[in-house]
Amino acid sequence: MSKIYKVVITAADRFVPSKLRPLWEHEAGPKTIFFWAPAFKWALVMASIDDYRRPLDRVSTTQSATLSATGLIWTRYCLVIRPINYSLSLCNFALGIANGVQCLRAYRYQSASKS
């Protein structure tokens, strides 16, 4: 772990209220990568949802299907690893669903355009 990160965590440690201590000290809490990975991965989910505004003729079904499959596969993996990472699992599930819906929308549009 970087020295800067350790200094920041040590400084913040003094200000964590007792009610939040269990979350703070959890093996998948803010002191670990298990917390920060899903925190930043939500940006990918938000970008996927934002793509709903994109014209359907410009949506890649391959990309959407790939992101959907990746999200759903990693959802299962997050429930198998130790420590179990429910927040990352939820994030991956949301990524899978968001891109699955987008893929379905694009596929329907492309099928209707060919007819």
For the entire predicted model, the pTM comes to 0.79
Tokens for 84?
């179990």
pLDDT single digits (tens) 60-108: 999 999 999 999 999 999 999 888 888 899 999 999 999 999 999 999 9
Q: Which phi and psi (to 5°) does residue 27 adopt?
A: -65, -15
Q: For the chain, what is the mean pLDDT?
A: 90
Please give the span between the terminal C-alpha atoms of the chain, in angstroms, as a whole number: 57
Of 94, 91, 81, 80, residue with least CA distance to 36: 91
Share of the chain above pLDDT 70, in %: 98
With 0-12 / 13-18 / 19 or more C-beta atoms within 10 angstroms meaning exposed / middle / buried, residue 50 is: exposed
Of 104, 109, 110, 76, residue with least CA distance to 90: 76
How many Cβ atoms from other residues are within 10 Å of residue 44's Cβ? 17
- Residue 19 identity (one-letter amino acid): K
Residue 1 confidence (pLDDT): 62
Overall average pLDDT of the 39-48 stretch: 92
